[in-house]
Amino acid sequence: MTAFSLEPAQTAWCAELRDLAARRLRPLADRGEPGHVNRALVAELGRLGLLSRLFTSGALDLCLMRESLARACTEAETALALQGLGAHPVHAHGTETQRARWIPRVSDGSAVAAFALSEPGAGSDAAALALAADPDGTGGWRLTGDKCWISNAPEADLYTVFARTGPGAGARGVTAFLVPADRPGLTGTPLDMLSPHPIGALRFDAVPVTADDLLGEPGHGFRVAMDTLNLFRPSVGAFAVGMAQAALDAALGHTADREAFGGRLADLQAVSHQVAEMAVRTEAARLMVYAAAAAHDAGDPDVPRRAAMAKLLATETAQYVVDRSVQLHGARALRRGHLLEHLYREVRAPRVYEGASEVQRGIIAKELYKSLEDR
């Protein structure tokens, strides 16, 4: 890939993914029950080989998958992304035994993964987490506390859990654990959220974990979390770009066909200029997402800044483009079941999860001033 375009093979693969999403994934998504894991959809993602690509591809491929799926089936995109987010720490930091047990099952869709970082008092401020991992006297720990706003909870089969094993606040002393859902003392409650997939709270009542459940080294859990988020933040932007493109496509089709005021809506300069602005912003966000993903794959040192920029611009852009498309469609876009009604509900959350827009601005500013000091 150059800075300006994809290779022909990549473009063809994206088109193939959009076709698969429309033909094979969209019908399964429509049959799913909102607020619950759609296991049939997850299994189909496995049969298509898309889940296994989460663990063999780089950040750019992940972005292309998420953008392409989002244009035709946001539910499939989210199911794929949550498998990757929950299991990437196992793939990247787990032991051979952990990977052998879980990665094949996540890849074929028979096991559902979740990333359990946020807490009631530690959302955007992830370093403030308080879930306690107390030594049990035998070389293991007992997890006690709560997690909240966890996607796929309480229906996941395995959780990547971040807990505090050391004293003090901040990033130091945080350890990552792989916790199967059937561990004694682990319970969950679904939350009634504006999302098609489950989001829940988890309660840890002296849940036992041992050295065999560690992901990475004790006290290095925040590094595991940030490694995962730096990979997935650009692809959150790709999800947003896919939604923006779907909304732009809808606006183009509607304004080209809709007759009003003695002609087509597209013939009104006020309308055509809005569509042009939507297209410019969408393409700018897409290029920033691709650039951030390419930087990650190249091992560039400024990945945190680029990833934050990509997520910020793309998610804010998607919100704008979807809103403009709704305005151009009028009341029909607000009818339950309309594509834009669906996108309007879906597009809001990415500006909050995996670091709210304000957090991304903070990361960007921190990295900019850090680079100034390093000169």
The pLDDT assigned to 259 comes to 84
The pLDDT assigned to 4 comes to 64
Please give the class, per CATH, of domain 114-219.
mainly beta
Q: Does domain 8-108 bear CATH number 3.40.50.150?
A: no
Q: Where are the domains of the chain?
A: 8-108, 114-219, 223-373
Q: What pTM, to 2 d.p., does this model score?
A: 0.92
Give the tokens for residue 192: 């009634």
Residue 326 exposed, middle or buried by CB count within 10 Å (0-12, 13-18, 19+): buried
The pLDDT assigned to 344 comes to 95
- Mean pLDDT on 261-286: 94
- Mean pLDDT on 292-306: 92
Distance CA 129, CA 132 (A): 9
The pLDDT assigned to 169 comes to 58
Nearest residue to 315 via CA among 225, 242, 251, 226: 242
- Cβ(45)–Cβ(219) below 8 Å: no
Give the tokens for residue 151: 């996607």
- Mean pLDDT on 45-56: 96
Residue 16 exposed, middle or buried by CB count within 10 Å (0-12, 13-18, 19+): exposed
Distance CA 196, CA 295 (A): 32
Q: Does domain 223-373 bear CATH number 3.40.630.30?
A: no
Distance CA 232, CA 234 (A): 6
Give the pLDDT confidence of 78-99 residue by residue, as tens digits: 999 999 999 999 999 999 999 9
Pairing type for strands 158-164 and 113-116 reads: parallel
Active-site position among 354, 358, 367, 373: 354
- Return the minimum-mean-pLDDT range out of 60-64, 126-130, 285-289: 126-130
- Please confirm, yes or no, whether 75 is among the known catalytic residues: no
- Cβ(316)–Cβ(357) below 8 Å: yes
pLDDT category of residue 347 using cuts at 50, 70 and 90: very high
The pLDDT assigned to 1 comes to 45
> In this model, does residue 261 exceed pLDDT 90?
no
